Amino acid sequence: MGPTAIYALAALSALFWGANFNLAGPVLADMAPMTAAAGRFVLAALIMAVLVVWRGEFTAMLAVARRHGGRLALVGVVGIAGFNLLFFDAMRTTSAVNGALIMATNPLLTALLAALTLREQLPGRQIAAIPVALAGVSMVILGGRVGEGMEFGLGDVEMLGANLAWAAYNVLARKLMPPGPQLANTTVMMAAGALVLAAAAAASGSAFSVPGPKAGAALLLMAVTGSVLAYLFWSMAITRMGAGRTALFLNLVPVFAATIATLGGSPPNPAQMGGGAVVIAAVIFSMLPSRRRTCPA
C-alpha cells in the first residue's frame, strides 16, 4: 500500500470522526447517553468479531486475548469506555463544532501527557503552542455560547474530559499495544470497552428504548464508519507513518465536523471560526519539523 493510500485512510478516519459529532444529535434524541455509547460499541464489537471470523483470524484473536488481554482491556476501558461515556453526555449540551474544535487540541495534549508519563521529549514548538491552542479553545467555547453568558457549559467541560481520555488512550496504546495483527488487537480492545459500557449502562438504570429509523441509522453509521473503519484505518496509518505524522490528520476532524454542520444548517459563528483557526494553526505549528542549524564550512 503506497503513501497516497495511507494518507487517504488517515483522512477517512478524520472524516468519520468529524461526522460522529453531527450523528450524535439524532441518536441522543431517542436514547440516553450511556445506552447510546454502549449500543455503538456493542454493535462495533460484533461487527469486528464477524470480520475476524470471516478473515480466518479467530485463533489469532484468542491467542492475543490470552497473552495481552489485560493490557488491551486497559486501553479499551480508557479509550473506548471512558472517552465515549464523556463524549455522548457532552453532546447533549454542546455543539458539534465546539466538540470537534475542543478535540482538535488532542495532538498537543497527547504530546504533553507522553512527556509527563513516558518521559518523551517535548519540543519547544509544542511547549509554545499549548497556551495558544488553549486560548483558541476558550474562544471556541465562549464564542459558541454567545447570548447564554460567557461561561463554560457542562458539555464543554465533559468534552475536555473526553479529550483527556483520548490523549490517555493514545499514550497507553503507544506503550501497551502489542505488535501483531491489528484486527485481532482492535477487536479485543473494542470488546473490553463495549463490555464496560454495557455494564455502566445497566448499572445507571437508564431505560432502554429502541431508536427510531433516523436515530437507528445514525447509530449504525457511528458503529460502522466511526468505530470499526475509523479505528482500523487509524491503526494502519500509525503502523505505516508513526503516531506523530498520523496525528496531524486529527486537524481535519473539526474541518469535517464544521462542514457537515454547515451543510445541515448549523454553520459556525465568527468566534468559533476564529478560535478554530487559532487551534488548528497552533497544532500545525507544533508538528512542524524543527530546522537543524548547519555550521559553515
Predicted pLDDT at 146 = 45
| pLDDT the model gives residue 291 | 57
Q: Is the dihedral of CA 92, 93, 98, 101 positive or negative?
A: negative
Do 78 and 161 form a contact (C-beta atoms < 8 A)?
A: no
pLDDT of 147: 45
Q: Which three cell numbers stand for residue 77?
A: 476501558
| Of 111, 42, 50, residue with least CA distance to 81 | 42
Q: What is the pLDDT of residues 236-269, one digit of tens each?
A: 787 677 665 676 677 778 778 888 888 888 777 7
The residue behind cell 509544542 is: 126
Give the DSSP per-residue string, 44-99: HHHHHHHHHHHTT-HHHHHHHHHHHHHHHHHHHIIIIIIHHHHHHHHTTTS-HHHH
Q: How high is the pLDDT of residue 277?
A: 81
Burial of 265: CB neighbours in 10 Å, binned 0-12, 13-18, 19+ = exposed
Q: What pTM was estimated for this model as a whole?
A: 0.78
Q: Are 76 and 193 in contact (CB under 8 A)?
A: yes
CA atoms of 270 and 265, how far apart (whole Å): 15
Question: Do residues 252 and 18 make contact, with C-beta atoms less than 8 angstroms apart?
Answer: yes
pLDDT at residue number 216: 92
The parts of the chain modelled with pLDDT lower than 50 are 146-151, 293-297
DSSP H or E run through 237: helix 230-241
Look at residue 293 in the predicted model and tell me its pLDDT.
44
pLDDT of residue 148: 45
